[in-house]
Amino acid sequence: MSLRDLLISQIRAQGPMRLDYYMAACLLHPEHGYYTTRTPFGTAGDFITAPEISQMFGELVGLALAQAWLDQGAPTPFTLAELGPGRGTLMADMLRAASRVRGFTDAAEIILLEASTALRDIQADSLKAYSPRWIDNIEALPEQATFLVANEFFDALPIRQFVRDGSRWRERQIGAQEDALVFGLGPTQPQPALAQRLEDTKDGDLIEDCAAAAPIISTLSARITAHGGAALVFDYGDWRTLGDTLQAVQNHAPTDPLNSPGHADLTAHVDFEVLLRAVPPCTPSRVTPQGVFLERLGITARAQTLAQTLSGAALDSHIAAHRRLTHPQEMGNLFKIFGIVPQGAPMLSGLEI
Ligand code: SAH
């Protein structure tokens, strides 16, 4: 039975389905989920992420975290963690670059939060030199100094959508019409948790709510406050998202999110306001465009050094990768980053308070 058929029979039995439930099933269903059944990243997959574009991304992130580790007195041992590590490329590039910082890799315990067993296998292979350990939820992070990165993780967390109706809301739900999945609206209900969105919306506006996002940041912030550490979060999104940002991508092209459950990547824009509000008692940096951050860390100098060893098509693709990561019309502006450090600690390199 396909995931579509499974979902349709469930809707027939139980009524319309919430979007967060649909999204979780499409991405992580043990048998049919998008991340559980394939490796979606890279030129052969459906989309390409910053660490898969160039090794420079992971190298600079690794050095920024290693600098923060030095700034905080090189706590030993410490956790070097990643949320949603994909193919393990970012972590591998970080560790290779940061091995130049004396003591860093020896003191690091590599912890990966990954829901997909298929991707865990791939990560085990790309990181076999470092004996990583996997955790199922953020609370399982060890009680010690924690230096963490997340790239395109929060955009994969399931969201709900609500349409404003007076001072109440109607939830966007998924129903079944013959053999097709279709969107509809649930009954008008009060939603006390959305009270602050009555300030910036009008009747008929659609807003999104990602319940899982803020608790992850809060837990992380508590760890970093208690034991030291830092976090870097990269994603695309806005400050207070407004409107429908759910998108599905299949074979590098947009598709209807209800069209092929389990076969397309589903993401939604990250609401940076929600994440930043969860950071205290730690100190957040400003939300900074990815291009600005990478330039401040010296990506151009690194690109020039690497270019000296390249020629022909390899050189062309290296130049294109540099541009893709940093140029305002490519990923440079669309992707944003913020950092988290304990109160009073120096902010991460490339970011400002
Ligand atoms: N960071 C990688 C991959 C981004 S794709 C890169 O930049 O290339 C999203 C990643 O998060 C995948 O590894 C996916 O399996 C994982 N993921 C998605 N939802 C998750 C969840 N709820 N819990 C843990 N991991 C999740």
Question: Which of ligand 1's atoms lies nearest the C-alpha of 28?
Answer: 19
Ligand 1 neighbourhood includes 145 CB (under 6 angstroms): no
Q: What is the 3-state secondary structure (H, E, C) of 88-157?
A: CHHHHHHHHHHCCCCCHHHHEEEEEECCCHHHHHHHHHHCHHHCCEEECCHHHCCCCCEEEEEECCHHHC
Residues 284 and 331 in one domain: yes
| Beta carbon of 119 within 6 Å of any ligand 1 atom | yes
Which residue CA neighbors atom 14 of ligand 1 most closely? 84
What is the 83 CA–ligand 1 centroid distance (Å)?
Answer: 7
Q: Which two tokens stand for residue 76?
A: 């030993």
Say if 265 falls within a structural domain: yes
Contact status, residue 221 vs residue 280, Cβ threshold 8 Å: yes
C-alpha gyration radius of the chain: 21
> Domain end: 209, 228, 247, which one?
209
Report pLDDT digits (tens) over 158-187: 999 999 999 999 999 999 998 899 999 999
Minimum-distance ligand 1 atom for the alpha carbon of 212: 22
Taking the C-alpha atoms of residue 220 and residue 336, their distance in angstroms, rounded to an integer, is 19
Residue 88: what are its φ and ψ, rounded to 5°?
85, 5
d(CA 156, CA 178): 29
Mutate to test the pocket of ligand 1, among 36, 82, 114, 265 (most ligand atoms within 8 A of CB): 114
Same domain, 12 and 92: no
Sheet holding 253-255, edge to edge: 253-255, 247-250, 265-267
The pLDDT, as a whole number, for residue 28 is 94
238 CA to middle of ligand 1, Å?
20
- Which amino acid appears at position 108 of this protein? A
Report how far apart, in Å, the C-alpha atoms of 191 and of each of 17, 181, 209, 280 are.
Answer: 18, 26, 11, 25
Cα torsion at 67, 59, 77, 344 (round to 10°)?
30
Which of 36, 57, 116 has most ligand 1 atoms within 8 Å of CB, for mutation?
A: 116
Structure tokens at 220: 């992380």
Structural domain count of the chain: 2
Kindly state whether residue 350 falls inside one of the protein's structural domains. no
Instruction: Kindly state the DSSP code that residue 331 receives in the 8-state scheme.
Output: H
**Domain enclosing residue 189, as ranges:** 3-32+160-209
Residue 157 is encoded by which pair of tokens?
A: 């967390």
Token pair, residue 47, equals 């989309």
Closest-lying ligand 1 atom to the alpha carbon of residue 40: 5
The answer to whether the CB of 123 is under 6 A from ligand 1 is no
pLDDT in tens, the chain (353 residues): 899 999 999 999 999 999 999 999 999 999 999 998 877 776 667 778 999 999 999 999 999 999 999 999 999 999 999 999 999 999 999 999 999 999 999 999 999 999 999 999 999 999 999 999 999 999 999 999 999 999 999 999 999 999 999 999 999 999 999 889 999 999 999 999 999 899 999 999 999 999 999 999 999 999 999 999 999 999 999 898 899 999 999 888 899 999 999 999 999 999 999 999 999 999 999 999 999 999 999 999 999 999 999 999 999 999 999 999 999 999 999 999 999 999 999 999 999 99
* Domain end marker among 171, 192, 209: 209
Is the same domain home to 180 and 258?
Answer: no
- Domain membership of residue 67 (yes or no) is yes
Residues 72 and 88 occupy one common structural domain: yes
Ligand 1 neighbour 40 (Cβ under 6 A): no
Check residue 82 and give its pLDDT. 98
Token pair, residue 79, equals 């956790």
Tokens of 278: 């969860």
The model's pLDDT over 270-298, given as tens digits with 9 standing for 90+, comes to 999 999 999 999 999 999 999 999 999 99
**Based on the domain organization, do 337 and 238 belong to the same domain?**
yes
Q: What is the DSSP letter of 201?
A: -
Task: Output the residue whose Cα is nearest ligand 1's atom 20.
Answer: 115
